[in-house]
Each structure stands twice: as structure tokens, then as C-alpha cells.
Amino acid sequence: MTEFKEKKALLNMINSPADLKGMSVDDLRELSGEIRKKIIETVSKTGGHLAPSLGTVELTIALHYVFDTPGDKIIWDVGHQAYAHKIITGRRDQFHTLRTYKGISGFPKRAESPYDTFDTGHSSTSISAGLGISTAKALKQENNRVISVIGDGSLTGGMAFEGLNQAGHTEKNLIVVLNDNAMSISPNVGAFSSFLSRKITAKRFVNFRKDLENFIKSLPGVGENILNLVRKSEDSLITFFTPGMLFEAFRFKYVGPINGHRLDQLIDMFKNIRHMEGPILVHVLTQKGKGYGPAEADPAYYHGVGSFNISTGTARKREPKPPPSYTEVFGSTMVDLGRKNDKLFAITAAMPEGTGLTEFSKAYPERFLDVGIAEQHAVTFAAGLATEGFRPVVAIYSTFLQRAFDQIIHDVCLPCLPVVFAIDRGGIVGEDGPTHHGHFDITYLRSLPNMTLMAPKDENELRHMLYTAIQQSGPVAIRYPRGSAVGVEMDQEYRSIPIGQMEILREGSSLLILALGSAVYPSLEAASRLEEEGLSVCVVNCRFAKPLDKRLSDLAKSIGRILIVEENIRQGGFGGAILEFLNDNGIENLRLKRLGLPDKFIEHGPAEMLKKKYGLDASGILKGARDLFQ
């Protein structure tokens, strides 16, 4: 249990970063404790990214203390670690609404505050965005500083290195802060490096170095050779005593590592580098979950956590106990299938826990790979495995699979390789909002030749679909929703589902409801209510967004009224596939309505509430059906 001592309410005096400027370091330390308390109290109710944000409290305070935001620009990569930033940039009194409907976002959002420089939610974007902003500032002859804060996890993404490469080449003014909460560096090396870096960035040292360079250059005949020797010696000294060789190779001035919880060191460091020209990388060591015992002990669990009890750290209980999640069912099925098939190989991108593959990784470590935040690499790596007779299953959230679209097309679908995509979080995901909703995957995947695209109505069907997918000779994608499954009884034996074959769940003659995935059970509920009103409703679990069952032609002709339901945007989605199918088969004179998500980015809020708002719950489907009889 973490105890919080009563302290004077310094936080109540912070309405903007300007209010930090006159505070002493001791007061700032006290303030950091108050901010941590507020973050823990709020996230215990709303859920959110607790551990990352607790680890960056001092870093956030130091950045806003030294730099003049919002003129100076801070970009938070991913945004998981930006809660302290939100609190001290005018959103303290709104912070209790974090991730709630119409409350503040869990990520930086330009529409929310002038202090939020760039909309973030996916990783590894901060350096590229920061370089773009810095380049624009230079063209406009503005002298504001640009600071990109990137976590070490985000640095596993290739885009981050593309940004580093370009920034070093252009030599624009850009400060990259590497928030390192995982790398193990020994205390002796860290302490000495910290001391060395602070000394070599002090203003008087920088001025002395420039004067010395000018003097050496002036020496006739030998000046340039001597200067090159001096530069090589200085580079060797820096890289020998610090872990900065990689960043020096990118032509960044490397500073650090610095203790990310020592406000005095952080403030001193940022003051020293504020005047320096060119690209600079500051290496900051932080502890994920800092200040809250349970999060320090298990930072992976508290990375993104639901509501919890502060005193114990345990999740708030829901009564009755819900069925297992789709993620859990997928994970247990993979372990079972891995036992039966030694060619099954599981791949994830920095989310073994989130995708349910932890147990598989323990059971079959030689057939598991976490590639880090590198979805493009994950897909092409899987393609390589598939060429050698393996059956790779790439488990990635829908919103993150978007990052590998070219690889899916070029490296998997074009050569028609048997790669299975297990797409978790398909559809509305809830409080993480527009950066994380997975409501584009049907649209972007069904357009690809050779792709088979399935969506299970429940967890039992998910198991059969996964079993079916690994038997196929080409690419297959299975998308399933976040959260608890339906709670149906599970079959003991696996069975293959004929590709493209729909399942008629309810016979009827007045209305045909074509439902996919998570829309099936709400459609059945709506059909029961319609039957009470005297309508005969046929409900089809289509199971496949691609290919479609040819028997749909006869059903559509015989019934005439069709309601299509999907948890995806309507543009190019499952409903669009049905319209194309009917048109291609010359079927006309139908009354047809599509229910799905509109052509917009969906806001954050509870998933069930959002489904109700957009007409994808049983009541919304009932209304859509009634409209067809008006």
C-alpha cells in the first residue's frame, strides 16, 4: 500500500506552466508528489496509462520549467506518458474526466489545448513530427525550441530511426528526449556519464570550444588537420564514457544518461542545452510506475489498466464475473493448436500480454517472437516464415495493423502466402478513443486480392476460425472485438468452417438481417423483438466479409428487405461488399439499409454507450429494421 502524506496544495496554484517558473526545486519536488497522487486517484476510477505517466512527472515539470511552452513545442510520443503534462497545462480541474465521454482525452490532442503540439496515439512519430515543426520554424525565422519526448519502447519502431537519420542529416535544431525506463545501465557508468554530459554542455564550455576551434583554424597550413584530430579525440572521449555511440553516429550531440527523477539534474541539463545548436539527444533514465508500489512492481500490468483499488492495487470487481475475453480465448486456443502443430509460429508487436500470447511464449519460446513496435517488420518476417512451410499467426490490434498495410499487400497477399492475421480490438474499443478504435480493418483488408476475412459471432466460433485459418494455403484475417466474449459453451473438438459459408441462425420471410461478428447477437435480440410485433425475420451470421456466400442471392431475392449490420465504417465495409455482390449478380428492386459507423473518427467513451449512440446495439438495430417498413 502506498501512503500519501498531507502536503500544502501547491498544485492548486498551477494553472499554466508559467506558474512553475518562480518555484524552488524543493517546491517542485513537493509538486511532483501531488501530481502523482492526482494521477493515481483519477486513473483508479477511470482506468488509463498509469505506469508510463507516473514515470515522467519530474521530466514533465523540468521541461515546462525550463522551456517556454506553448511557444516552445513539446511532442509526446504515443502520449501514454502525458498525464502530468495535461495537469499542469490548464487541465487540472478537468483531469477527473480523463477518458470519459466528452471528457479530456487520454492522449495529446491539438483541439484540446494549445500545449498539445501534435495528436498522438500510435508510437514512433515524435521525431519525424518534431523535425517537421523545427524545419517550419527555421523557414519562418522563429527561434522557438522543439522537444520530442520518445519512450524506449517507441524507439524500436523503424520510423523513429528514419526521423533520427533525417534530423542528423539536416542539422536542424531539435531536442530528442529518450525516456528510458527499461535499459539497465550500471550506477557507476551512469553517474560518471551524467557528470560528464553536464560539464560538456555548460555554456562556458561550449563557448570555449568555439573559441578554440576558431584559433586552431587560424593556424596556417596545419590548422585543419589539428582540428580534425581534436574532434576525433573529443568524440572518442564522449562515446567511450557514455552509451551514446549510436546517436553520435546519427550526428546527434548525445547527453546523458540523466536520472529522470532528479529535478535539479534535469533542470540544470535542460538549461545547459537550451542554447545549443543542431540535433541533440538527451538520455533520461526513469522508473515506470514511480511513486506507486504496485505499479513499480508490475509496470506491464499498470501500463494500461482499468479501474482499481488504490490501497491494494487490485482491479475493481465486477459482479457477476464476466466470461473470458476474446483475447484470452485466442491465447488459450493458440497454446492448444501449438501443441498439435509444430509449424505454428506466433508473432506480436510489443504486446504479448495485450494479444494473449504470454502463455504461448512460455510454452513454445522457439516459435514465438515479439518484434517490438515494428508492425511492418512483423508482417514481412511472417511472410518469410511462411515461405519455409511454417504457419505464422500475427497477433496485432486492428488500429496498429494499419501501419503495415503495404507489407500485407506486397509481401503477403501478392505472393499469396499462408499468413494468419489475428486482429484484436476490431471495432469500437472505448476510452482510448479515435487513435485506437479498430473500425477500418474490414474496409482496408477486403480490398486485397487473395485475402480471406472472417469475424466470429462468439468465442466458440473464434476457436474454429483460428483452426480453419491455419489450414489455408493463402492469407487469412480474423477480426474480433475487445473485452468479454459472449459466454457460450465451447466445443471439445475443432471443426473447419467452409470458406465463405454463412450460417442461417433464424428463418424468416419478412426481413433479412445480414450481420457480421459482434453484430450477430444484438441482431438476434432485435429479431426476437420484431417477431413479437408480428414480423418474420431471417438472421444470418455471415461469418465472412470476403468471400461472400453465393446463396445470398436467393435469400435477397426471396425476402426483398435487407438490413446489414457491422461494427466498421460503412465506407467500403461489409455493407459495401453486400451492395457490390447484389449489383454484380443483377439483383434489383430491394429495400436495403446499412448500419455501421459513420464517415468520421469516433470519440472516446464507454464502448457500449458508443454502440448505442451509433445505432449498433439491439435497440438501434430494431429502429433500423422498422425504418425498412415505413
Total Cβ atoms within 10 A of residue 532: 8
Q: Which residues contact 510 (CB under 8 A, 6 or more apart)?
A: 535, 536, 537, 559, 561
Looking only at the bridges linking them, the beta strands covering 511-515 and 561-569 are: parallel
Asked if 424 and 459 touch (Cβ cutoff 8 Å), the reply is no
Choose the catalytic residue: 253, 403, 482, 611. 403
Locate 204 and state its grid cell: 562556458
Tell me whether residue 319 is one of the annotated catalytic residues.
no
Asked if 330 and 424 touch (Cβ cutoff 8 Å), the reply is yes
State the Cα–Cα distance between residues 501 and 512, nearest whole angstrom: 17
Q: Which amino acid is at 1?
A: M
Total Cβ atoms within 10 A of residue 142: 10
State the Cα–Cα distance between residues 445 and 523, nearest whole angstrom: 24
- SS3 for 478? strand
Locate 122 and state its grid cell: 500510435
Q: At what angle do helices 263-273 and 57-66 cross, to 10 degrees?
A: 40
Which residue in 370, 347, 352 sits closest to 300, CA to CA? 352
Residue with cell 588537420: 225
Query: What is the total residue count of the chain?
Result: 630
- Measured at the alpha carbon of residue 592, what is the angle toward residues 588 and 593, in degrees to the nearest 5? 155
Choose the catalytic residue: 34, 58, 375, 566. 375
Strand spans (E) along 25-157: 73-76, 146-151
Strand order in the sheet with 544-546: 368-370, 344-348, 391-397, 420-424, 476-479, 452-454, 544-546
- SS3 for 472? coil
State the Cα–Cα distance between residues 304 and 47, nearest whole angstrom: 7
- Measured at the alpha carbon of residue 378, what is the angle toward residues 375 and 384, in degrees to the nearest 5? 150
Asked if 282 and 258 touch (Cβ cutoff 8 Å), the reply is yes
Residue 280 has, within 13 A of its CA and on its CB side, a CA count of 22
Q: Which residues contact 298 (CB under 8 A, 6 or more apart)?
A: 289
Asked if 55 and 288 touch (Cβ cutoff 8 Å), the reply is yes
Choose the catalytic residue: 288, 570, 594, 611. 288
Tell me whether residue 3 is one of the annotated catalytic residues.
no
Tell me whether residue 612 is one of the annotated catalytic residues.
no
Which residue in 239, 179, 232, 240 sits closest to 53, CA to CA? 179
Locate 21 and state its grid cell: 517558473
State the Cα–Cα distance between residues 126 and 110, nearest whole angstrom: 14
Q: Write out the catalytic residue numbers.
A: 288, 375, 403
